[in-house]
């Protein structure tokens, strides 16, 4: 295993965030919990989802229970989480999985992508975390960590390709889901957008942006085109 990956995983083992949808260390994650949390997190903060997730799984302990509930009830329970299209897709996806897949989520990125409400990031997150598929789940946190680690200064969105290649090179065959979650946690708590805590970072010795003193300038965003008057 690459030493960057090994150090990131060791840091995760010691500092991972305790989130209600995560399985305890060493236990197999429940694909239903992983999927549900990823849909909830699409446009809602971790703090809010952390509060609301337990009530959802208490009321609907598995995908079949969710699928058997009228849409209106799911929409009512979604109140306050915003973007109701997500709740509609959540329900539609639950019905497909319950009725056509025997209540089991598919394990491949391609099959997950065909389900309602699942885009490239969510498919990669579910496949890697729930099923151990070695694929990078590129959210804003992982993008920021990769851009800084390798000093990738091609502005986004064009820079996403280089960032994805860097992440692909690091993703391990063992524990790919933990790698993705470790990068998410590092980006959220240490390699923060505005005020990176490089002194507390397990990757400091490898980080080109830190060495060059340019961490806060990365990832770069493309300059906005002036609006026509
Ligand atoms: S050393 Fe600093 S900039 Fe580099 S990955 Fe760590 S926190 Fe981010």
pLDDT at 31 over 90: yes
Q: Are 122 and 135 in contact (CB under 8 A)?
A: no
Q: What per-residue string of b and e applies to 119-150 under the rule 16 or more CB within 10 Å gives b?
A: eebbbbbbbbbbbbbbbbbbbebbbbbbbbbb
- Kindly state whether residues 83 and 169 are assigned to the same domain: no
The count of structural domains within the chain is 2
**Same structural domain, 43 and 127:** yes
Please give the pLDDT value at position 225: 80
Report yes or no on 188 lying in a domain.
yes
- State residue 156 phi and psi, 5-degree precision: -70, 150
Q: What is the sign, positive or negative, of the torsion defined by CA atoms of 7, 11, 17, 18?
A: positive
29 and 122 in a single domain? The answer is yes
CA of 161 to the centre of ligand 1 (A): 20
What is the average per-residue pLDDT within 215-223? 93
> What band does 222 get if pLDDT is binned at 50, 70 and 90?
confident
Q: Residue 35 belongs to a domain with what CATH number? A: 1.10.340.30
Task: Give the position, in ligand 1's atom list, of the atom nearest the Cα of 218.
Answer: 3
Determine, yes or no, domain membership for 12: no
pLDDT of the residue at 224: 81
Closest CA to 191 of 172, 173, 166, 216: 216
Same domain, 112 and 154: no
Assess if residue 226 is contained within a domain: no
The whole-angstrom separation of Cα 137 and Cα 95 is: 25
- List residues near ligand 1 (CB under 6 A): 145, 148-149, 190-191, 196-198, 201, 203-204, 207, 209-210, 215
State how far the Cα of 138 lies from the Cα of 164, in Å rounded to an integer. Answer: 7
Boundaries of domain holding 81:
18-131
Distance (Å, rounded) from C-alpha 140 to C-alpha 109? 19
Give mean pLDDT, residues 185-206.
97
38 is catalytic: yes
Q: If you measure from the C-alpha of residue 172 to the centroid of ligand 1, how many angstroms do you get, rounded to a whole number?
A: 20
Are 136 and 180 contacting, i.e. CB atoms less than 8 angstroms apart? yes
d(CA 100, CA 82): 28
Q: Are residues 154 and 93 in the same domain?
A: no
Is residue 30 located within the same domain as residue 126? yes
Mean pLDDT of 65-90: 96
Residues 153 and 106 in one domain: no
**Listed residues 102, 131, 160: the one ending a domain:** 131
pLDDT tens digits along 136-190? 999 999 999 999 999 999 999 899 999 999 999 999 999 999 999 999 999 999 9
Q: Is the pLDDT assigned to residue 1 strictly greater than 80? A: no
One domain, residues 100 and 152: no
**Measured in angstroms, how far is the CA atom of residue 150 from the centroid of ligand 1?**
10
Same domain for 122 and 22, yes or no, is yes
């Amino acid at each position: 295993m690459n030493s960057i990956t090994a150090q990131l995983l060791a840091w995760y083992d010691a500092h991972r965030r305790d989130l209600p949808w995560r399985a305890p260390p060493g236990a197999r994650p429940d694909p239903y919990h992983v999927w549900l949390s990823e849909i909830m997190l699409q446009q809602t903060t971790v703090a809010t989802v952390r509060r609301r997730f337990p009530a959802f799984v208490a009321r609907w302990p598995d995908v079949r229970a969710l699928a058997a509930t009228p849409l209106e009830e799911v929409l009512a329970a979604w109140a306050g989480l915003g973007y109701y299209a997500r709740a509609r897709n959540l329900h539609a996806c639950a019905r497909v999985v319950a009725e056509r897949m025997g209540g089991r989520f598919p394990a491949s990125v391609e099959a997950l992508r065909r389900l309602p409400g699942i885009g490239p990031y969510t498919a990669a997150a579910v496949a890697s975390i729930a099923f151990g598929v070695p694929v990078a789940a590129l959210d804003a946190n992982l993008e920021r960590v990769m851009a800084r680690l390798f000093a990738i200064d091609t502005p986004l969105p064009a820079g996403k390709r280089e960032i994805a290649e860097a992440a692909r090179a690091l993703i391990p065959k063992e524990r790919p889901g933990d790698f993705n979650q470790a990068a998410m946690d590092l980006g959220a708590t240490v390699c923060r957008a505005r005020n990176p805590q490089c002194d507390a970072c397990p990757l400091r010795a490898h980080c080109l942006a830190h060495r060059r003193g340019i961490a806060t300038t990365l990832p770069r965003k493309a300059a906005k085109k002036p609006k026509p008057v």
